[in-house]
Each structure stands twice: as C-alpha cells, then as structure tokens.
Amino acid sequence: MAVIGKDILKAAQLLRDGKLVAIPTETVYGLASNALDATAVAGIFKAKNRPTFDPLIIHTYSIEKVKEYVLEFPAELEKLAKAYWPGPLTLLLPKKNIIPDLVTSGLDKVAVRVPDHPLTLELLQQLNFPLAAPSANPFGYVSPTKPEHVNKQLGNAIEYILDGGNCKVGIESTIVGMENGKICIYRLGGLSIEQIEKVVPIAIGMKINSSGDPTAPGQLKSHYSPMKKLVIGNIEMLLEKNKNAAVLSFGNKKYNALTFNLSEKADLIEAAANLFTGLRTLDESNGEIIITNYLPETGLGKAINDRLTRAAANK
C-alpha cells in the first residue's frame, strides 16, 4: 500500500523522478505525474487502466503559468479564470507542442486548471512542470474524495498519497471552452452554469455527452460507476420491487431501507461533497442494488444528476 502523509518535499521529488503521486484538490483526489514527460503520463493510464483516447487535465498554480503551455487564452475564458481560479473550473485551450499528445489524446486543445487546495498549490509552486492528474481511481469507478479511497484501490500502484483531508467540493471541475466565438460547456461540475453566466453573460452552448470519442475529459457515457447496479427513479416504487436495495437519498424523507443521505437539509453543495462517498459506502454495503432519484436541476444539482446518469449507464 502507498504511504499517506503531508510531506510536500517528498511528493515533489517523486514527481521529478517520473513517479506517480496522488494529490488532493477541492474537487477529488488526482493521480498526478509530470505532464511534460510522456513516459510519466503513460504511467497514469497504466495505473488507472484508462483508455488513451480519454484526455487528461493538467494542473498548475496561476494564469501566468497556464499561458506558458497554451497558444492563446481568449479574453472571455480569462475572465472566468480570474473570477474562479483557484477553483473547480477547467478551461480547454489550444496547446503548445510542449504538451505531449498523450495528455490530450492527440487533440489540439489541452484542459488546464488551477486547483483550490493549499497543499497542492504549494507543491505545484515547487515544480518546474505542470501535473497531469485525472481522478485517482480505477478508470470508470467512483472518484476518490479521501486519501483512504485512493489507497484502497490504487495503493499498490503508487508510492505516496499527499494527505489533504476530505475534498470540500466532492465532484470534478466544470470544463469550459469556446466554439465559434461562444462559451461551450464540455462537462458539468463543481462550478455551476449560473456562476459562469454571472461572469460571461453570453449564449452558452452545451457539448456534454459523448461516447467513444471525447473532446474533453469526463465525457464518456458510462463513468463514475459503483460496482453494483444503480437505478434512478421513484425511490418508494423501486423499493417495493427491490426489498434488499440500498438508498442514496436527498432531503428529510425517510425510507425503510439502508440509506445514505447526501443532505438531510437538501443542500446541493453538501450533497455534491457527499456524492462519491455515498456511492462508495452503498457499494460496499449489503444492499443488492443502489436506488436513487434525481436532485433539483438547479446549481450543482445539474452536475450531480450528470454523475448519477453516467454512473447508472450500461448497468
């Protein structure tokens, strides 16, 4: 198993040596390597069993550093960056050749962000390269929001997990780019559409769902999935048909079943932070299947529902 600790100097040296390190962010834990070293990046795909057609996000610590790796930074996207970095926002920008094609799955744009976690920001400032860092879990499974989640599933594939505690946002970043002069959202996440529109009040296109040919990370139809079957619908009706089901609930309604409540006070921010922990908890329970319903389609509810839909796909 991997060592869990707070030694930033150790994490930095491992990364300089081409090794993999799990790092905390405000969204989920990432499996990081030197984004400029194709061999190190290949280690991410191997450890996660991730297909190489699914691109990665690179992480650094400032807008100025991002500009070292991209050909251009449109004004509208820079406005978003200034408003929400560090934070759960990823921007899709034309890449310079310094970024290996493996990082972008051969595409001409790279996904970049500045994570909002003090340990990882300090780590990034000690490195002379950005970090490629998808979620630190086996490909397609529920994303990790605690260091223990990482160790349980990837502890034999990595040496070190930088311990930043529980992730405060709990779902991946929102991915935004531009197409034909308009803002385009490629993945719903920890930054809501409403927050984006406050800064860039123009028409927003949506290019979220994909199948086997993603143009940005996190677009595959089936993703973020527990091992058990997840069914979305009317919980009470589903419980009548599935007596041994486990329930992923939201709000103050009680059910006569094993239940993980995302937020008893129906707080969408709290629900997002608890989503992946809830799915993991019920996946490891005695419930035969997991049943849930969609949350309100406002704020982070849209991103939570996106994750639930992908988690339930192909089951």
Phi and psi torsions of 153, nearest 5°: -110, -25
Residue 223 has pLDDT above 90, yes or no: no
Residues 156 and 81 grouped into a single domain: yes
- Does 244 map to a domain? yes
Helix or strand run (H / E) with residue 113: strand 109-113
Q: What is the mean pLDDT of residues 176-198?
A: 92
144 vs 150: CA distance, rounded Å: 6
Go through 276-301 and write b for each residue having 16 or more CB atoms within 10 A of its CB, e for each that does not: bbbbbbbbeeebebbbbbebeeebbb
Q: What is the DSSP string of 207-268?
A: ----SSS-SSTT--SS-SB-SS-EEES-HHHHHHH-TT-EEEE-SS---SSEEEES-TT--H
Residue 81 has pLDDT above 70, yes or no: yes
Residue 212 has pLDDT above 60, yes or no: no
Q: What percent of the chain shows pLDDT beyond 90?
A: 86
Peptide bond just before 138 cis, omega within 30 deg: no
Residue 122 has pLDDT above 90, yes or no: yes
Residue 21 has pLDDT above 80, yes or no: yes
- Does 219 map to a domain? no
- By mean pLDDT, which of 14-23, 158-167, 185-194, 306-315 is the weakest? 306-315
Q: What is the mean pLDDT of residues 137-150?
A: 94
Band (207; pLDDT cuts 50, 70, 90): confident
Residues 47 and 135 grouped into a single domain: yes
- The end-to-end CA distance of the chain, in Å, is 30
Angle at 62 between CA 151 and CA 45, to 5 degrees: 35
| Contact between residue 264 and residue 153 where contact means Cβ atoms under 8 Å apart | no
- Taking Cα atoms as reference points, which of 30, 7, 5 lies closest to residue 20? 30
Residues 55 and 195 grouped into a single domain: yes
CATH of the domain at 169: 3.90.870.10
- Does 56 map to a domain? yes
Q: What is the mean pLDDT of residues 63-69?
A: 98
Residue 52 has pLDDT above 90, yes or no: no
Q: What is the mean pLDDT of residues 133-143?
A: 93
pLDDT value at position 54? 86
pLDDT value at position 216? 67
How many CB atoms neighbour CB 252 within 10 A?
10
Question: What tens digit of pLDDT does each residue of 226-249 get?
Answer: 999 999 999 999 999 998 999 999
Residues 280 and 174 grouped into a single domain: no
pLDDT value at position 53? 85
Contact residues for 75 (Cβ-Cβ < 8 A; gap 6+): none
Higher pLDDT, 314 or 133: 133
- Does 80 map to a domain? yes
Residue 315 has pLDDT above 60, yes or no: no
Rounded mean pLDDT of the chain? 93
Burial class (CB in 10 A: 0-12, 13-18, 19+), 266: middle
Residues 55 and 140 grouped into a single domain: yes
Angle at 105 between CA 102 and CA 107, to 5 degrees: 115
Residues 42 and 190 grouped into a single domain: yes
**Token digits for 208?**
């979220």
- Does 212 map to a domain? no
**Token digits for 181?**
């002069």
Band (206; pLDDT cuts 50, 70, 90): confident
Domain that holds residue 104: 3-206
Residues 55 and 131 grouped into a single domain: yes
Band (224; pLDDT cuts 50, 70, 90): confident
Residue 120 has pLDDT above 70, yes or no: yes
- Does 211 map to a domain? no
Residues 148 and 238 grouped into a single domain: no
How many CB atoms neighbour CB 15 within 10 A?
24
Residue 41 has pLDDT above 70, yes or no: yes
Q: What is the mean pLDDT of residues 32-54?
A: 94
Torsion angle defined by CA atoms of residues 62, 23, 266 and 174, in that order, rounded to the nearest 10 degrees: 40
DSSP 3-state of 194: helix
- By mean pLDDT, which of 2-16, 118-132, 160-174, 223-237 is the weakest? 223-237
Q: What is the mean pLDDT of residues 100-104?
A: 96
Residues 181 and 243 grouped into a single domain: no
Residue 38 has pLDDT above 60, yes or no: yes
Rg (CA), the chain: 19
Residue 157 has pLDDT above 60, yes or no: yes
pLDDT value at position 65? 98
pLDDT value at position 274? 97
